[in-house]
Amino acid sequence: MMAGFIFSFSTLIINNMLRLEVEPSIQGRVFGTLGSLSSIAPPIGLACFSTASDWFSPSISLLICGIGMTALGIFALAGLKTIRAYV
């Protein structure tokens, strides 16, 4: 339940940032692409990490997922100038 709450809260923040930063003429394309990726990414991620959990162990696959998410967060914070304005 907590993960769902956090996911919906972070999605709201991302949508608000995109509405402010993306030009109105291309917002439809941006939100369409984001919606397409949002609908396909969770099943693919679930399949990949459940397979990794079977091969290794749940703790190792969760560690890999956490390291990957931390690395992506650091990259986004360091590399994407627009996101730094909201931190």
DSSP letter at 78 equals H
Enter the pTM of the model. Answer: 0.62
Residue 32 confidence (pLDDT)? 92
Q: What is the per-residue pLDDT for 80?
A: 81
- Say which residues have a Cβ less than 8 Å from residue 84's Cβ, sequence separation at least 6: 77
Three-state secondary structure call for residue 22: coil
The 10 Å Cβ neighbour count of residue 83 is 15
Per-domain boundaries in the chain: 2-84
The SS3 of residue 48 is helix
Each residue's pLDDT tens digit, 23-79? 999 999 999 998 898 889 888 988 988 898 999 888 998 898 899 989 988 998 888
b/e per residue, 19-31, with b = 16+ CB within 10 A? Answer: eeeeeeeeeeeee
